[in-house]
Structure 1
Amino acid sequence: MTIPLEDVRLEERSEVTGPWQTVVWNDPVNLMSYVVHVFRTYFGYTREHAERLMLLVHHEGHAVVAEGAREQMEFHVQAMHDYGLWATVRRADT
């Protein structure tokens, strides 16, 4: 069975543009105050929002810190790595 080229293009497009998330994971290295600092500095979050996300990371093991296009989320993940945080990209529907 052959899949029409039109269907393949639609599938490829949804892979790139669908909603994606940047997830920051808990680690045994970074201080909670440093994680708050990173979220405030990089994302521009208020202290309250940054602390809420940090507490999710600390207590739940991870937190979604951004959502959007995959390319932008990959950019955020690289930035988190540059700050020394463990982060990944995932589909928003997971």
Structure 2
Amino acid sequence: MADQEGATAVAEPDALSAPAPARDLPWVTLVLNDPVNLMSYVEFVFREYFGYPRAKARKLMLEVHEKGRSRVSTGTREQMETDVQAMHGYGLWAECRPADDRGDQT
């Protein structure tokens, strides 16, 4: 601020164009292939927990089986952590990460 009466402070251009905080970026939940669970069970979990229709649940399950992982949900970090915990509760391998991370591509 200036010492002169009536002077106003002006924000630096860099401060105005700063990127959004990381917490505002979307996150994803990835389900990973594992050697234990049957494909039909993975499809069931996707339908039961996420409420996906049979066709979408099957498509995601096949991505897990054939590609080793599938992005099953997108949202806030907190919601993705909740989804990962739910997948662990069903016995599936899952992780969450920022959506712009290269590893979330299926």
Say yes or no: TM over 0.5: yes
Question: Higher Cα Rg: structure 1 or 2?
Answer: 2
Query: What SS is found at the alignment partner of 1:84?
Result: coil
Which protein has the bigger helix share? 1
Query: What SS is found at the alignment partner of 1:29?
Result: coil
| 1:17 matches 2:27 | no
The one of 41, 51, 55 aligned to 1:34: 41
| 1:75 matches 2:87 | no
| 1:87 matches 2:94 | yes
| Alignment TM-score, normalising by the size of structure 2 | 0.76
| 1:54 matches 2:61 | yes
Structure with the greater relative contact order (CA < 8 A, sep ≥ 6): 1 or 2? 1
Query: What SS is found at the alignment partner of 2:21?
Result: helix
1:16 deviation in Å?
2.0
Instruction: Report percent identity of matched pairs.
Output: 58
Q: Tell me the distance in 1 between the aligned counterparts of 2:46 and 2:66.
A: 17
- Aligned-pair Cα RMSD in Å: 1.5
Count residues in correspondence: 85
Deviating beyond 3 angstroms after TM superposition, the runs of 4 or more aligned structure 1 residues are none
Query: What SS is found at the alignment partner of 1:89?
Result: strand
| Alignment TM-score, normalising by the size of structure 1 | 0.85
Unaligned runs of 5+ in 1: 1-6
Q: Which residue does the alignment assign to 2:71? A: 64
1:14 deviation in Å?
2.2
Query: What SS is found at the alignment partner of 1:64?
Result: strand
Q: Tell me the distance in 1 between the aligned counterparts of 2:90 and 2:21.
A: 30
